[in-house]
Chain A
């Protein structure tokens, strides 16, 4: 990899100029809202109901909660991860490469930094949308009737920032849509199986549990489950700090890679 010139490696420029770009994405979403919401929640909902009631009948309670609620809380975090990764990769790639929307925007008095910031915040916004939808279903099923459960929404935003940034970094490197398969195989799937979405990680061999300890999704789930039960999570600040660190570091990488791709 060629050396990266100083201008491309500069710290992110944060400015409210990102707002009109974010609003552009919102306007597109509003036109396709129904299909988008359905797409975001149909999958996790099916898994939650099928596994929750199917396996739940055999398992009963896990981690102090009914299995439907256990897996449902996992699904809330998982859908935040999926939605934001998808947005940062496939949707951003359409806007950047296929439709050349970004090219049009940076001809206006908006910097590429503003565009990437807008996309990042948009990824997290969509994560909150799908988090909200699944949380509502869980609440309709009779779980999470506690004010503390509402903290899961800002948590969804934070998870969206982490995986949105991962997605945008992949986007900056992608020659085409097929490239994103690597991310799903190498990052998302292991994350899904090792972070305790379907079963508690604590029962796994020690070495697996310690690998899980560095995964961002695990930290999100460690925050979400107690909140659903109306408890303040243990070491909440640590979990938040880990997620924030992932988000900020991945965003910086995504930004530098995007500048390198487009500002030459």
Chain B
């Protein structure tokens, strides 16, 4: 206990290897001639929530599959929960919980049966499992639906059960691959609450997402990756402060483009136009706002810079498939 308090107080680089739940060093993965992951390196420290952020096809899921030992990398080293991967991937997975991108609950089973059957895959004995399941159901808000059939559950409820299932082995590291894709706002907030609860209990989380609000709410550190390469890695606020001007004015409407070309570019440090919206980035937005206030024909929104601004700046505006 004392050790861990002392360790938390130390900067990351002083901590020993035991402070790292996952270490990825120089990871390379090729499919055919195409390099999907190109020399990716990062460490995940005990107790943090680390976000992998990137557009579709950036190599997020491939990276996770490599870390779990489901795919052999073409280069680099991975250490998961102290075990070398892929060599001892199975041993490492004993201490990892996974929430996959697409639901794969057993549709023939009830809520409880899903947890029991999954627990057996970890070799957890009946008594331990019986003790854990009520707490997992409680955590997932499913205590009253213990015997409900999976087919009767909503998308959000299924996700919460999938999250509970990933905790059946009381894992050291929880890996979530786009955990809230396809959920409505209420369901997303429930998942986020659950994850925050886990972080408060000291669990370590690795999260991939392309939702900026999700990354900003949960992640203590973020790695932005694109084309299999790390573009930036730091705390969300530090990343934003380091790459993007602090204030943003979004200008909409038919006249936005023309206004931006004449006035916006003169008053803002940087202007980006996407469709009928002009994004004006500034150290201080006061002159922009003074210019816009008396105008008709344009609407505008003044806000602080956020992760989306950073993401767009780093990965560009073009569409990915």
Measured CB to CB, the residues of A under 8 A from B are 5, 7, 20-21, 23-24, 27-28, 31-32, 99-101, 103-111, 263-264
Contacts and interface: CB of A to CB of B under 8 A. Distances in A.
A5 B71 CA distance: 12
B310 to A, nearest CB: 31
A20 B109 contact: no
A104 B113 CA distance: 15
Contacts of B71: 263-264
A99 B102 contact: no
B117 A20 contact: yes
B113 A101 contact: no
B68 A107 contact: yes
B97 to A, nearest CB: 8
A108 B104 contact: no
Contact of A24 (B70, B102, B117): B117
Interface stretch (B118-126, B217-225, B232-240, B279-287): B118-126
User: Which of the four size classes fits the interface of chain B?
Assistant: 20 to 34
A27 B98 CA distance: 23
A263 B70 contact: yes
6 contacts: A24-B117, A99-B107, A100-B102, A109-B123, A110-B90, A264-B71
B100 interface: yes
B94 interface: yes
Contacts of A21: 121
A186 B123 CA distance: 42
Given A99-B107, A109-B94, 16 more contacts: A21-B121, A23-B117, A27-B113, A28-B109, A31-B108, A100-B102, A100-B104, A104-B118, A107-B98, A108-B121, A108-B169, A109-B93, A110-B121, A111-B90, A263-B72, A264-B31
B121 A20 contact: yes
Grouping DSSP codes into helix (H, G, I), strand (E, B) and loop, the B interface class, with mixed when no group exceeds half, is loop
A249 B257 CA distance: 69
Contacts of B93: 107-109
A107 B90 contact: no
B91 interface: yes
A223 B109 CA distance: 39
Nearest to B90: A109
Contacts of B108: 28, 31-32
Contacts of A32: 108
Nearest to A94: B107
Interface in B44-91: 68, 70-72, 90-91
A263 to B, nearest CB: 6
**For A5, A20, A24, A104, which residue has the most chain B Cβ atoms within 10 angstroms?**
A104
A7 B71 CA distance: 11
Contacts of B113: 27
A15 B169 CA distance: 21
B106 interface: yes
B120 A99 contact: no
Contacts of A7: 72
Contact of A101 (B91, B94, B106): B106
A116 to B, nearest CB: 14
A32 B107 CA distance: 13
A27 B107 CA distance: 12
Contacts of B31: 264
Contacts of B94: 109
B117 to A, nearest CB: 5
Given A263-B70, A263-B71, A264-B71, A109 B121 contact: yes
**For B113, B121, B122, which residue has the most chain A Cβ atoms within 10 angstroms?**
B121
